[in-house]
Amino acid sequence: MVAGFLRALSGTAARRANRVSFVSMKPQVVFVLGGPGAGKGTQCARIVENYSYTHLSAGDLLRQERSRKDSESGQLIDTYIKEGKIVPVEITINLLRKAMEDTMQKDEDKFRFLIDGFPRNQDNLQGWTAVMEGKADVRFVLFFDCSNQVCIDRCLERGKSSGRSDDNRESLEKRLRTYLQSTRPIIELYGEQGKVRTIDASRTVDEVFADVRTILDKEG
């Protein structure tokens, strides 16, 4: 089934690749990865305040798509998120591609993107490569590293008011399992290419951001 899906993806993705069009500059991408609640979104917001990046959270784009009235994927996304499973890349890559194109069509100087929470597994990576290779540069991966316990504590605390359907103990266990089994290997893969910048995310927001600054100032 997986092989069948991948074959289908490569056909569809190849057709889509021809449709990807960016106005002028090639998008420069930083992938932002880390466990659930590691602080990806929080740090991306700080980066946007201080540097010329556009923040695209794959999770936020999926949640928006889930709540779009005419969405064909809304139900599927809802189930996958509650189960802590990773949505098929066909859906996610389209949302990311469109968000990048829209951003650059409005302002061609906005070609730097933080892609938060993606790629999370092999399927995501293959989808990205099929659609974006040669069309966008992945500069490096910002990896917010902290223990499972920190992830759990932060998400459960946020769950008191977030309204997120996956900020509960049951979903969180599944999200963590998925992260360890599927996402960590992707981070390791980028690590082998010398592309991972690891930050200890268990400290305060300001302390973490100080390290982010050092990295971004150096990377240019």
* Residues at the interface with ligand UP5 (CB under 6 A): 34, 36-42, 57-59, 62, 80-81, 84-87, 92, 117-118, 120, 124, 154-155, 158, 166, 175, 204-205, 208
Give least dist CB 24 to ligand UP5, A: 27
Q: Output DSSP code: residue 174.
A: H
Site string for Mg ion, 39-78 (x = CB under 5 A): -xx-------------------------------------
Give least dist CB 62 to Mg ion, A: 11
Amino acid at site 121? N
What burial class does residue 193 get, using C-beta atoms within 10 Å of its C-beta: 0-12 exposed, 13-18 middle, 19+ buried? exposed
Q: Which does 120 bind (CB under 5 to 8 A by kind): ligand UP5, Mg ion, none?
A: ligand UP5
Give least dist CB 118 to ligand UP5, A: 4
Beta-bridge mates of residue 56: 115
- Segment near Mg ion (CB under 5 A); pick from 7-15, 35-43, 90-98, 100-108: 35-43
Q: Which is nearer to ligand UP5, 110 or 154 (CB)?
A: 154
Q: Which is nearer to Mg ion, 27 or 36 (CB)?
A: 36
Q: Which residues contact 186 (CB under 8 A, 6 or more apart)?
A: 33, 119, 120, 121, 122, 124, 125
Give least dist CB 194 to ligand UP5, A: 23
Query: What is the spatial distance between Cα 159 and Cα 25, in angstroms, rounded to a whole number?
Result: 40
- Segment near Mg ion (CB under 5 A); pick from 38-46, 98-106, 151-159, 205-213: 38-46
Total residues contacting Mg ion (rule CB under 5 A)? 2
For 207, left (φ over 0), alpha (ψ -120 to 50), or beta?
alpha
Q: The dihedral of CA 33, 38, 44, 47: what is its sign?
A: negative
Give least dist CB 108 to ligand UP5, A: 26
Main-chain phi, psi angles of 116, to 5 degrees: -100, 125
Give least dist CB 134 to ligand UP5, A: 21
Angle at alpha carbon of residue 103, lines to 63 and 120, rounded to 5° = 45
Residue corresponding to tokens 């980066």: 47
> Which residues are at the interface with Mg ion (CB under 5 A)?
40-41
